[in-house]
């Protein structure tokens, strides 16, 4: 059986840390385990941002030709006719941030949801930041519906439970996620900027980070109270004295 990988970033720093390529190396090394010694092929989906050109350029600034064969897929102004053939030829599919609800609706109109399911089953590494992080879960915390954070219930469901990106960088995220879980929202993963949760075959494998002290936490409701469990984090830049040691 081919391993199925999903990497959910709480925030991957395309704009804030353009020179930080630790996560790029991590993703591309995963992809290379599934193919020959050729450069891995990665495709960026900027749907959630409305196919923002600046976002695509930031992606190319990180995923440079010395590392991989990078491409992108626009859906607002389609340039690719055969979406299935195009996406299934990649080793990594990276989903950008923006409006998660709008992105999911557009994917479903164009048939991308079904193609991503097929890509997942084929062992293509699926990953993303912000909207591109929480979309893989059953549900999550989103700002898609306006200024107030709200639950989103119709994620792709490749990973059970919920997620909340930007956990440390947006002050409303933590209290709202706590509130939703206490009110019956499925528990799940709170992910800081610079951190990611890595899932293999639908199960949590490890947490990694591209900057020191970034966290991934597991949230759940127990006996009418919230339990927030910090998970071990592997710092991709080397030794991190403040990280919880991995088992």
Residues with catalytic roles: 130, 166
Contact 71, 41 (CB under 8 A): yes
CB 182 within 8 A of CB 197: no
**C-alpha–C-alpha distance, residues 11 and 30, integer Å:** 19
202-222 burial: b if 16+ Cβ within 10 Å, else e: eebebbbbbbeebbbbbbebe
- Residue 153 CB partners (closer than 8 Å, separation 6+): 138, 139
- Residue 28 has a CB neighbour count (10 Å cut-off) of 20
CA distance 95 to 130: 9
* Among 216, 218, 214, CA closest to 236: 214
Nearest CA among 10, 4, 110 for reference residue 51: 110
How far is residue 114's CA from residue 122's CA, in Å, rounded to a whole number?
Answer: 12
């Amino acid at each position: 059986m081919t391993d199925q990988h999903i990497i959910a970033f709480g925030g991957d720093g395309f704009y804030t840390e353009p020179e930080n390529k630790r996560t790029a190396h991590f993703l591309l090394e995963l992809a290379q385990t599934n193919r020959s010694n050729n450069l891995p092929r990665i495709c960026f989906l900027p749907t959630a941002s409305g196919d923002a050109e600046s976002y695509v350029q930031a992606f190319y600034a990180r995923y440079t030709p010395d590392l991989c064969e990078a491409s992108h897929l626009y859906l607002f102004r389609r340039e690719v006719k055969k979406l299935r053939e195009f996406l299934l030829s990649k080793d990594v599919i990276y989903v950008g941030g923006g409006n998660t609800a709008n992105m999911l609706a557009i994917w479903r109109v164009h048939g991308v949801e079904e193609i991503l399911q097929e890509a997942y089953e084929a062992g293509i590494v699926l990953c993303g930041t912000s909207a591109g992080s929480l979309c893989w879960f059953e549900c999550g915390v989103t700002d898609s519906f306006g200024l107030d954070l709200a639950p989103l219930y119709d994620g792709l469901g490749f990973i059970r439970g919920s997620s909340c990106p930007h956990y440390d960088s947006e002050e409303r995220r933590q209290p709202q996620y706590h509130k939703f879980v206490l009110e019956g929202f499925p528990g799940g993963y709170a992910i800081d900027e610079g951190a990611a949760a890595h899932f293999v075959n639908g199960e949590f494998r490890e947490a990694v980070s591209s900057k020191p002290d970034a966290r991934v936490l597991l949230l759940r409701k127990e006996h009418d109270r919230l339990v927030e469990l910090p998970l071990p984090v592997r710092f991709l830049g080397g030794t991190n004295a403040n990280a919880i040691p991995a088992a």
